[in-house]
Structure formats: C-alpha cells, structure tokens
Amino acid sequence: MDQPARGEGVRDDDAPAKHTSAEHVRGGHAVTPSPDDRPRDKQLGELADRIVRVARRIEAHRFQDPLITPVSPLEALFLRYVDDHPGTSPGVLARDLMVRSSNASAGLRSLERKGLITRSADRDDARVTRLFVTDDARRATARVRVEWAHLLNELLPPSANVAEALHVLELLDDAPAERAS
C-alpha cells in the first residue's frame, strides 16, 4: 500500500480491509453496510457530519427574492432566538447561545439597523432592555422558508420521509445546551 503524501492523513478507507459481522462480502469485496446496520455511535457521528455539510449548503444558497434582507449566520441565530423568546434581554440571549456579550451586542445592533428587531425598556426596570422581532423580520423569515423549501424540494426525492427527519432535528435542537457541551 502506498504511504500517504506528506501532510495527508490516513483515512479509514486507506486501512486494510477488515470485515465486521455487519459487513457482507460479495465478489471478494466488502459491501458497506446499510446505515441501519452501523453501530449507533457511527450513525450519530455521520449524522452530525451531514448536518454541518447540509447547513453549509443551505447557508450558501443565494436568495432570489429581493425582499429578503441578508443576514449573517450569527445574526440569523440571534433573530431566531428573539423570535422564539420575545422580550428576552441581550444578556440572556448571549448566555443561552453561548456567545460573548460583545458579539451579541454587535449582532443585535446590526439587526436593529436592518429593521429586524426592536429594543424597548422593561416596564418594571428601565435599566433592562427587551428584544422583539419586527413585522418585517417575520415577513422576511417566511420568504426565506419558502425559498429553502423550494431548494430542499429540488434536492430530495418525493419518497424522503421529511417528517421523520424534522422530528430528529427537533429533538436535537430542543435538547438542553448543557448536555451538548
């Protein structure tokens, strides 16, 4: 077997073939097991890798609708958080999303300049700022989802179980953050 060139790592597929009980040998070659035959830890690692790759592909999509206000991935994260937690404070947002308060402040200022969030003083304590999404943000979010639905509809076969995939992603998204660290 050739040695990898300097700077290249050794991949699993570079190693000599070892057949596990889950692999089948057909014509002298190991056949990759179906995803359901792989151990759970391997499936979960593959799931995380695929989520990252698909997310990058979706984020790289160039919107066709001129009424969609472009935002950075971090700004989109903040916007979704404020939409899910109306009236939250910048400090709670930064804590819950595990970002520095300075980064949260910069992103929130940008969203405010774009007309996607508003700030208001708390009724009981004027020192506390409350965040809310605007109607423009809600309309833009709806337009983004329409474009993303069109994109994914073109990529997925009609037989894909979208409801099951959505359920798995909802479970991951709703899991407590402290379990993920």
Tokens of 24: 């089948």
User: Can you list the alpha helix ranges (DSSP code H) found in the chain?
Assistant: 40-59, 73-84, 90-97, 101-113, 135-155, 162-174, 177-180
Contact by Cβ (8 Å): 140, 76:
no
> How confident is the prediction along the chain (181 residues), in pLDDT tens digits per residue?
444 443 444 444 444 444 444 444 444 555 555 667 889 999 999 999 999 999 999 988 889 999 899 999 999 999 999 999 999 999 999 999 999 999 999 999 999 999 999 999 989 998 899 999 999 999 999 999 999 999 999 999 999 999 999 999 999 988 886 655 5
pTM of the model: 0.69
